[in-house]
Amino acid sequence: MNHSNNMRWALLVGTLAALGAAAPAAALKIELPVETAAFKRGPGADAANEQCRTCHSVDYITTQPRDKPLAFWKAEVEKMKKVYGAPIPDDRIDELADYLARNYGTDK
Ligand code: HEC
């Protein structure tokens, strides 16, 4: 090896060492908490998954008291649309309210 090859080798080793030093930061794993709640399956669950998970977690629904009737859930869906601007089509409001009242309210 002549002098210039040694220089290149040193540069290469130096570069690899620098990459190696950077590796731990790049490999840092950030563990997000697993989603603890999911919508119960059944008729209407697809609508809920489509319409009710874009802004907040399912916990907002599952942590509501269980003694609420259909009217409460319908008002809740309408509030998401009118007050918070959820893009819920009008013809899906009843389907959503039924699903929510059946699974998280008093309508069995
Ligand atoms: C456009 C965003 C958006 C969408 C979509 C949305 N929500 Fe909400 N929701 C909100 C906001 C904002 C709050 C109030 C958050 C707070 O007070 O911290 C909220 C709160 C709630 C609460 C807690 C009680 C309350 O009235 O504040 C419930 C229950 C709820 N949402 C149900 C639903 C259901 C059911 C759907 C699907 C039909 C839905 N949300 C879709 C924005 C949304």
Question: How much is the mean pLDDT over the chain?
Answer: 85
Sign of the alpha-carbon torsion through 73, 77, 82, 85: positive
What pLDDT score does 25 carry? Answer: 61
Residue 82 CA to ligand 1 center (angstroms) comes to 11
Residue 52 CA to ligand 1 center (angstroms) comes to 7
More confident call, 59 vs 33: 59
Q: Residues 42-52, buried b or exposed e (16+ Cβ, 10 A)?
A: eebeebbeebb
pLDDT exceeds cutoff 70 at 7: no
Dump pLDDT digits (tens) for 70-108: 999 999 999 999 999 999 999 999 999 999 999 999 998
* Ramachandran sector of residue 31 (left: φ over 0; alpha: ψ -120 to 50; beta: rest): beta
Per cent of the chain over pLDDT 70 is 71
What pLDDT score does 108 carry? Answer: 82
